[in-house]
Amino acid sequence: MLQRLGRWLRAAGYDTVIETQGRRDYELLKQALAEQRYLITRDRELNEYRRAPGTVILLECERLDDCVAELGRHLDINWLHQPFVRCMVCNTPLTDSRPQNLDALPERLKASLDTAFYCPACQKVYWEGSHVNRMRRQLEAWRDGCFNN
């Protein structure tokens, strides 16, 4: 669930590292401190957190909306900070320069290339459409304090 929360933080424009390799707690904490990040976890065993007050944020939520609400009690998150400037998959800032190989794009995308953004790292394409609109509405709901989805 925190990985989903992390992807939504990226959607809101926050520079967010998502741990996927099962690294040890102290390695995560070391990175958080070195890169001046918050370390958001549900791991009560992360016992180094006492040595890094203000860095580790311990959440107890189960559902995404509850995580959003709970995180908001720790940090002043602006869910419309800079929507859709980062790749939700890999955190890389998006660009509007077109990818080299347009042939690889699905037909339905070729029609909306002018409004599309691309991830230069993982090649994911984002374009203004129903999916982005739905996500934008979700971000707006969280900004407005609605956490009941």
Binding segment (CB under 5 A) for Zn ion, from list 28-36, 43-51, 99-107, 116-124: 116-124
Query: What tokens were used for 101?
Result: 């190989």
Output 29 or 94, the one with its CB closest to Zn ion.
94
Of the two residues 7 and 81, which places its CB atom closer to Zn ion in the complex?
Answer: 7
Helix (H) or strand (E) holding 2: helix 2-11
Measured at the CA of 11, the angle between CA 96 and CA 43, to 5 degrees, comes to: 140
Q: How far is CA 85 from CA 28, 48, 71, in A?
A: 25, 33, 21
Is the Cβ of residue 72 or residue 99 nearer to Zn ion in the bound state?
Answer: 99
Looking at beta carbons only, is 111 or 122 nearer to Zn ion? 122
Within residues 41-100, the interface with Zn ion by CB under 5 A covers: 87, 89-90, 92
Phi-psi region of 84 (alpha: psi -120 to 50; beta: other; left: phi over 0): left
Kindly indicate which of the ranges 18-26, 42-50, 66-74, 111-119 contains the residues binding Zn ion, using the contact rule CB under 5 A: 111-119
Selection from 22, 21, 59 nearest residue 38 by Cα: 59
Only segment of 33-41, 51-59, 119-127, 138-146 that touches Zn ion (CB under 5 A):
119-127
Residues of this chain that bind Zn ion (CB under 5 A): 87, 89-90, 92, 119, 121-122, 124
